[in-house]
Amino acid sequence: MTIWEPTEKTLSNAAQILIKGGIVAIPTETVYGLAADATQSVAVEKIFLIKKRPSINPLIIHVPDPSMVNELAATDSRFHELTTVFWPGPLTIVLKQKAKNKISELVSSGLTTLAVRQPNHPVTSEILRKVQRPIAAPSANMSGAVSPTRATHVEDSIGQHVNVIIDGGRCKVGLESTVIDLSTDVPVILRPGVITQEQIGQIIGFVNLSSHDSDLPKSPGQLAKHYAPSLPLRLNAEEAREGEAFLAFSKAGKAAIDLSPSGNLLEAARNLFFLLRHVDKPDLYSSIAVMPIPEVGIGIAINDRLQRAAQLHGQESALHNHL
Ligand code: TXA
Ligand code: MG
């Protein structure tokens, strides 16, 4: 059995596995992560191998508290303001790395920056406190596939390659963290999430939102071949065609499967990856149709993931050939 219920003993054991260079799937409020000690290159390399992740796609460092970041990267007032408001929580911040930190060079794929986040999940907070080392953790799925929001999702895809999966229940946010780049003068959101451009702008002033095409060298994980189910996806669908699974939005109980019957975007974000997996059944359906999601607030992050998931089966970017 690779899934452990969280107890004082299993969390201590999980911490020991990480310290010894093992791989632990951890629950976070966003999605499950595939964790390794970021200071051990051999452990970090295992993450890339398990996920079949291109080595040019950097990993996020998870910390038990904001103060650990001071040893690793250059923090500024914007970092302190954002972490005061949003940490622990679904916000990843990209900073300039300190020249001689202990982080393996594999983590940032040779970039001079480092992405950091303090997740908000009691189980993983406890593991991070016990380990007291920076922990690298991408989403615990095969590269390009839909992120896991349940322990069983991890078990089904990469379960045999990890030392253990810690079951922290359903992920409450359900979408990966917002990624904001503070390594430049004008902050840029590299990946939208449930913490929105507006919310961040209220704290630190003007923030750019990176366009899909311009982020190629900065955030490779943001390209096509991501978040994709095995079935093709048809977006902005008003109704199902023959053979299609139908993901409704805001149908007030009139649809069998609805991202949010009441039209609540936070609820739709929470359900998105779970329901995409739920209907991804090639023996039952030929494709998945999804109703339009309003392009406002959290809807921007939902549409970002849907567009990338849909792209896999249509036009593929030049980068895809390298992946
Ligand atoms: O919610 C999350 O962030 C989850 C949980 C497990 O914490 N993690 C996650 O990791 O989504 P991953 O590896 O699936 O996505 C990390 C994203 C990628 O788009 C990657 O390119 C970007 O963060 N990233 C990491 N380091 C970066 C850096 N130094 N500069 C720019 N982008 C970076
Ligand atoms: Mg991912």
180 is a domain residue: yes
pLDDT higher than 70, residue 34 = yes
In the reported structure, the alpha carbon of residue 138 is separated from the centroid of ligand 1 by a whole-number distance in angstroms of 6
Residue 26 Cβ < 6 Å to ligand 1: no
Asked whether residue 322 carries a pLDDT value surpassing 50, the answer given is no
Residues 101 and 190 in one domain: yes
- The response to whether residue 31 sits with its C-beta less than 6 Å from ligand 1 reads yes
What is the pTM (predicted TM-score) of this model?
Answer: 0.94
Q: Are residues 139 and 30 in the same domain?
A: yes
Which tokens belong to 21?
A: 């260079």
pLDDT of 86 above 50 = yes
Radius of gyration of the chain (CA): 19
In a domain, 51, yes or no: yes
Residues 166 and 61 in one domain: yes
d(CA 207, CA 210): 10
Q: Check pLDDT > 50 for residue 134.
A: yes
Is residue 288 in a domain? yes
**Chain centre to alpha carbon of residue 259:** 19
Question: Ligand 1: does its nearest atom lie under 6 Å from the Cβ of 94?
Answer: yes
Please indicate, yes or no, if residue 142 is contained in any of the structural domains: yes
CA of residue 34 to ligand 2 center, whole Å: 10
Query: Would you state the pLDDT for residue 314?
Result: 46
Residues 7 and 144 in one domain: yes
CATH code assigned at 241: 3.40.50
- pLDDT of 222 above 90: no
What percentage of the chain reaches a pLDDT higher than 90?
Answer: 89
138 pLDDT higher than 50: yes
pLDDT tens profile 183-219: 999 999 999 999 999 999 999 999 999 875 443 444 5
Which domain-ending residue is among 157, 175, 209? 209
Domain check: are 46 and 191 in the same one?
yes
| Domain hosting residue 264, numbered range | 233-322
Which of 99-103, 114-118, 177-181 is predicted with the least confidence, judged by mean pLDDT? 99-103
**Nearest protein Cα to ligand 1, atom 3:** 177
CA of 278 to the centre of ligand 1 (A): 24
Domain-embedded: residue 218: no
Residue 171 C-beta-side C-alpha neighbours within 13 Å: 36
Query: Would you state the structure tokens that stand for residue 14, as one six-digit string?
Result: 């999980």
Q: Are residues 69 and 28 in the same domain?
A: yes
Of 175, 209, 243, the one marking the end of a domain is: 209
- Any idea which residue has 């970041």 for tokens? 69
pLDDT at 319 over 80: no
Asked if the model's pLDDT at residue 225 lies above 70, the reply is: no
Q: What is the CATH number of the domain that holds 191?
A: 3.90.870.10
Asked whether the predicted pLDDT for residue 45 surpasses 60, the reply is yes
Please tell me whether residues 190 and 273 are part of one structural domain: no
222 found inside a domain: no
Mean pLDDT of 153-162: 96
Query: DSSP string covering 38-87, please?
Result: TT-HHHHHHHHHHHT--TTSPPEEE-SSGGGHHHHB---HHHHHHHHHH-
pLDDT above 70: residue 246: yes
Q: 57 Cβ partners below 8 Å, 6+ apart?
A: 109, 143, 220, 221
User: pLDDT by residue (tens digit) across 97-115?
Assistant: 999 899 999 999 999 999 9
- Confirm whether 220 is domain-assigned: no
- Asked if 9 and 140 sit in the same domain, the reply is yes
C-beta 33 within 6 A of ligand 1? yes
Q: Which atom of ligand 1 is nearest to the CA of 221?
A: 19
Any ligand 1 atom below 6 A from CB of 53:
no
Contact 28, 296 (CB under 8 A): no
Percent of the chain with pLDDT over 70: 91
Please tell me whether residues 274 and 241 are part of one structural domain: yes
174, 209, 244 — which closes off a domain? 209
Residue 317: pLDDT band (50, 70, 90) is: very low
pLDDT for residue 52 is more than 70: yes
- pLDDT of the residue at 316: 43
Tell me the CA–centroid distance for residue 143 and ligand 1, in Å: 12
Residue 214 belongs to some domain of the structure: no
Same domain assignment for residues 312 and 205: no
Tell me: do 10 and 66 sit in the same domain. Answer: yes
Beta-carbon-side half-sphere exposure of residue 277 (alpha carbons within 13 Å): 18
Count the domains in the chain. Answer: 2
Q: Is the domain of 203 the same as that of 299? A: no
CA of 43 from ligand 2 middle (Å) equals 18
